[in-house]
Amino acid sequence: MKYCPKCKTRAAGDGNVCPTCGGPLRTIGAPAAGEAPAAEGEEQLVLRLQGLQHDVGRSRRTMQMLGIAAAGLTAFLLLLLISTYVNAVRQYATISRVDVAPSDASPGAAEISYTYVTSGKVEFIRETAGRTETLVEHIHPDAASLADKSEADRRFLWGGGKSGEGVIRAKYRDGWSIATREWTVRR
């Protein structure tokens, strides 16, 4: 290919003079059949262009490898987040029924009963008169107690202040999420 270094334009392959400015034309690349070999400066230009082409190809491969590494790290991070979430949810027990009612026998106390399906923990949080209490029950049933449905029921009495009202929240597993249920207990 012939070009004019002064005009920076391509020229037809036949002539040796630029039709625009009248300056001498130069050749890039291998000489065509029947042409004289390129001058020393032209060979250096060709070698430099080939080196730049090689650098561009290497940069492209590097960018592709970095893209693959970024995609792999993103997939790893996503897998880590999902496994952390699943592990946090699986710590809780699955509850089929939970009831909170004020106790008739003891003022300021609440009677809590629930039926569990799977093992894990159940958190009960009680807020009364500016005070917060947390009760965590860990359920570790064996296979025999899960077979007998009456063993799966739990009941307890949770005492609190003598006056006012409070809120009791229960946190347990509900499928793939953690459910929070709330009751207002009046005395």
Residues in Cβ contact with 173 at an 8 Å cutoff, skipping those fewer than 6 apart? 89, 90, 92, 93, 94, 95, 118, 120, 179
Every domain of the chain and the residues it spans:
95-186
- Termini Cα distance of the chain: 97
**Does pTM surpass 0.75?**
no
- Give the angle 155-156-158 at the CA atoms, nearest 5°: 145
The second-level CATH assignment, the architecture, of 95-186 is Sandwich (2.60)
pLDDT in tens, 10-50: 776 677 788 888 888 887 765 555 555 556 678 788 878 88
pLDDT for res 13: 67
Least confident of 43-47, 158-162, 165-169, 178-182: 158-162
